């Protein structure tokens, strides 16, 4: 790219004396900061000196280096990256919602009403009794939900339940949240079919089990068919069932965690109900509970006071306490509300079904080129285990094209790579979730590129192994980036 601004740090564009502003002439003759030594800095500020046009070009060029759902297809598995309709942004920016978090309830009735309607809609979608929208992200929701479970046992004087069961296919946040909530983690294995192994679960159950976390569809995109039996076993031993609903897409309007026997769950608004969340953007991890656990939810709780005919923030003494400063990331909640209203009750199930159809379409069209370790109808996502043998997938020499190479080559064709080497159940995992928002044309174009890469792996493996070739930066040394990160610009 022949562009002097391209790939440079703003400090590298700096020229002594360059300015992007001019201050008015000092009209207070005789007075200046020079007379106030304590107000003067001792060292030169380390700021770039650039004109306005350079700043504009620098940041515009940088934004062009970003990849997002708004620039191209982003088939990341385990983390729904669906399109965020622009009307959501407009509604979230409405002046009336731009209120201070300490606004008294009487002056925030509209915002509280919206908040409560999202709580009620999520309860209806999930078949649970009550939701809180306080948590700021999925992992924060998990922590909150696990605190609900801990509070429930403690309030009943059942204090020896110190362990949480987590499947080996779980998202890494599950064991992490359980540990932060003060529980020990007990891992339960998956069967060769990729679902929780009930026989492995049975001996783990006992009076020390506080609960079990399950993700459904699980991280392999499979529906956990043994849930009724698992829920019965866990409840029988006195534990509660936790549902990780970060990616609730395929379940929408089809089946409900509450009906399956789950007691507590979280939902990621920033995955299932739009909101862009690349790069760790703002999130929201609402937590729902079945009837009888509502009092454990965190404070403040937004409730409708029938007597007074208004919404208020309620502080329950039996609550687990507070998990956030105020009521959560309100902007994300508005976007979810807008998303739900634009779809409407009658169309929400369509989103789920299309996400399943799209995933199965890609899987079926690519299975003659990529290894499909678990051959069933998937839900919103699925996992390949590298290339098939005839495309070099089983060789173990230096020319062997790996999942990493395929992912790097996809960048050359303008696609974001899928999730790779996760879940850990397969050596060459390549995990694809197209979401319901992509058209058949986009899916077909992606499939063609994936097939092309498989052919290249056979005809020109060296080229695939040295990809990407067309990106501003070529293949990075991932290990060095982790072991020797550079956070500062040394040339100053
Ligand atoms: C994304 C995800 C989480 C964590 O959500 P964050 O908002 O990133 O904290 C938890 N579980 C599953 C299955 C997920 O996909």
| Structural domain ending residue among the three candidates 323, 342, 361 | 342
Report the nearest-CA residue for atom 4 of ligand 1.
138
Structural element, H or E, at residue 200: helix 198-201
Kindly state whether residue 391 falls inside one of the protein's structural domains: yes
Ligand 1 atom closest to the CA of 140, numbered from 1? 9
Kindly state whether residue 492 falls inside one of the protein's structural domains: no
> Residue for token digits 């509450």?
258
Q: What's the domain range around 391? A: 348-483
195 lines ligand 1 (CB under 6 A): no
**Residues 456 and 420 occupy one common structural domain:** yes
Q: State the distance from the centre of ligand 1 to the C-alpha of 244, rounded, in angstroms.
A: 8
Q: Which two tokens stand for residue 165?
A: 């069961």
**Residues 256 and 134 occupy one common structural domain:** yes
| CATH number of 417's domain | 3.90.1150.10
DSSP string over 383-417: EEESB-GGGTTT--STT---HHHHHHHHHHTT---
What is the model's pLDDT at position 5? Answer: 80
**Residues 198 and 214 occupy one common structural domain:** yes
**Residues 142 and 264 occupy one common structural domain:** yes
**Residues 15 and 163 occupy one common structural domain:** no
| Structural domain ending residue among the three candidates 295, 320, 342 | 342
170 lines ligand 1 (CB under 6 A): no
| pLDDT tens track, the chain, 492 positions | 557 787 788 999 999 999 988 888 877 777 777 788 888 888 888 899 999 999 999 999 888 888 888 889 999 988 888 999 999 999 999 999 999 999 999 999 999 999 999 999 999 999 999 999 999 999 999 999 999 999 999 999 999 999 999 999 899 999 999 999 999 999 999 998 999 999 999 999 999 999 999 999 998 999 999 999 999 999 999 999 999 999 999 999 999 999 999 999 999 999 999 887 766 678 999 999 999 999 999 999 999 999 999 999 999 999 999 999 899 999 999 999 999 999 999 999 999 999 999 999 999 999 999 999 999 999 999 999 999 999 987 766 777 899 999 999 999 999 999 999 988 889 999 999 999 999 999 999 999 999 999 999 999 999 999 999 998 889 988 899 889 888 877 754
146 lines ligand 1 (CB under 6 A): no
283 lines ligand 1 (CB under 6 A): yes
77 lines ligand 1 (CB under 6 A): no
Q: What is d(CA 446, CA 450) in angstroms, rounded to the nearest whole number?
A: 6
Global pTM reads 0.88
| Structural domain ending residue among the three candidates 342, 374, 408 | 342
437 lines ligand 1 (CB under 6 A): no
CB burial of 481-491 (b: ≥16 within 10 Å; e: otherwise) equals: eeeeeeeeeee
Beta bridge partners of 244: 215, 266
419 lines ligand 1 (CB under 6 A): no
What is the model's pLDDT at position 26? Answer: 79
Pairing of strands 240-245, 209-215: parallel
Cβ proximity of 125 and 333 under 8 Å: no
Q: State the distance from the centre of ligand 1 to the C-alpha of 243, rounded, in angstroms.
A: 12
435 lines ligand 1 (CB under 6 A): no
Report the nearest-CA residue for atom 3 of ligand 1.
138
Q: State the distance from the centre of ligand 1 to the C-alpha of 355, rounded, in angstroms.
A: 18
**Residues 371 and 232 occupy one common structural domain:** no
Report the nearest-CA residue for atom 1 of ligand 1.
79
Kindly state whether residue 432 falls inside one of the protein's structural domains: yes
Q: What is d(CA 35, CA 135) in angstroms, rounded to the nearest whole number?
A: 50
Kindly state whether residue 141 falls inside one of the protein's structural domains: yes
**Residues 134 and 16 occupy one common structural domain:** no
Kindly state whether residue 72 falls inside one of the protein's structural domains: no
| CATH number of 311's domain | 3.40.640.10
Kindly state whether residue 281 falls inside one of the protein's structural domains: yes
pLDDT tens figures, 410-464: 999 999 999 999 888 899 999 999 999 999 999 999 999 999 999 999 999 999 9
Q: State the distance from the centre of ligand 1 to the C-alpha of 103, rounded, in angstroms.
A: 31
173 lines ligand 1 (CB under 6 A): yes
**Residues 290 and 385 occupy one common structural domain:** no
What is the model's pLDDT at position 492? Answer: 47
**Residues 126 and 274 occupy one common structural domain:** yes
Q: Per DSSP, which regions of 272-405 are E strands?
A: 287-289, 301-305, 310-314, 382-385
Q: What is d(CA 459, CA 392) in angstroms, rounded to the nearest whole number?
A: 10
**Residues 118 and 263 occupy one common structural domain:** yes
Ligand 1 atom closest to the CA of 270, numbered from 1? 7
Tell me which of 138, 244, 271, 278 to substitute to probe ligand 1's pocket, judged by most ligand atoms within 8 Å of the beta carbon: 138
CB burial of 4-14 (b: ≥16 within 10 Å; e: otherwise) equals: ebeeeebeebb
**Residues 272 and 334 occupy one common structural domain:** yes
**Residues 354 and 335 occupy one common structural domain:** no
Kindly state whether residue 224 falls inside one of the protein's structural domains: yes
Q: State the distance from the centre of ligand 1 to the C-alpha of 141, rounded, in angstroms.
A: 9
**For the chain, how many structural domains are there in total?**
3
Kindly state whether residue 488 falls inside one of the protein's structural domains: no
């Amino acid at each position: 790219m022949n562009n002097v601004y391209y790939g440079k740090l703003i400090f590298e564009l700096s020229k002594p004396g360059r300015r992007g502003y001019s201050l008015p002439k000092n009209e207070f003759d005789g007075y200046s900061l020079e007379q106030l030594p304590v107000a003067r800095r001792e060292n030169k500020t380390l700021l770039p000196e650039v004109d306005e046009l350079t700043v504009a070009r620098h940041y515009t060029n940088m934004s062009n280096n970003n990849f997002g759902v708004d620039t191209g297809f982003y088939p990341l598995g385990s983390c729904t990256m669906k399109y965020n309709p622009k009307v959501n942004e407009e509604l979230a920016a409405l002046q009336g919602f731009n209120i201070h978090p300490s606004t008294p309830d009487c002056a925030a009735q509209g915002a509280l009403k919206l908040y409560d309607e999202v709580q009620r809609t999520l309860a209806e979608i999930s078949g649970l009794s009550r939701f809180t929208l306080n948590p700021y992200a999925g992992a924060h929701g998990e922590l909150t939900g696990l605190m609900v479970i801990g509070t429930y046992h403690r309030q009943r004087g059942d204090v020896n339940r110190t362990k949480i069961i987590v499947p080996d296919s779980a998202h890494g946040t599950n064991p992490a949240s359980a540990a932060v909530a003060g529980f020990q983690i007990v891992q339960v294995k998956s069967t060769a079919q990729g679902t929780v192994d009930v026989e492995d679960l049975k001996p783990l159950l006992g009076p020390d089990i506080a609960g079990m976390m399950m993700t459904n569809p699980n991280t392999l995109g499979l529906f956990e068919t043994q849930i009724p039996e698992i829920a019965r076993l866990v409840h029988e031993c006195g534990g509660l069932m936790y549902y990780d609903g970060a990616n609730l897409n395929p379940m929408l309007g089809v089946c409900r965690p509450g009906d399956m026997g789950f007691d507590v769950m979280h939902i990621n608004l920033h995955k299932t109900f739009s909101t862009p969340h690349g790069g760790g953007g703002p999130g929201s991890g609402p937590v729902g509970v079945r009837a009888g656990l509502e009092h454990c939810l965190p404070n403040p709780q937004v409730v409708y006071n029938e007597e007074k005919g208004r919404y208020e923030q309620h502080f329950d003494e039996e609550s687990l306490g507070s998990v956030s400063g105020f009521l959560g990331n309100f902007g994300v909640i508005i976007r979810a509300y807008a998303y739900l209203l634009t779809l409407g009750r009658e169309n929400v199930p369509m989103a789920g079904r299309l996400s399943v159809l799209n995933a199965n379409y890609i899987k079926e069209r690519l299975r003659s080129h990529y290894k499909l370790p678990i051959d069933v109808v998937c839900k919103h996502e699925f996992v390949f285990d590298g290339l098939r043998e005839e495309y070099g997938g089983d060789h173990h020499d230096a020319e062997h094209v790996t999942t990493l190479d395929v992912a790097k080559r996809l960048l050359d064709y303008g696609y974001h790579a899928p999730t790779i080497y996760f879940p850990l159940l397969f050596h060459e995992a390549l995990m694809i979730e197209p979401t319901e928002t992509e058209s058949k044309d986009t899916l077909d174009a992606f499939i063609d590129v994936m097939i092309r890469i498989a052919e290249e792996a056979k005809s020109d493996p060296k080229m695939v192994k040295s990809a990407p070739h067309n990106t501003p930066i070529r293949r990075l040394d991932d290990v060095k980036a982790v072991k020797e990160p550079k956070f500062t610009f040394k040339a100053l």
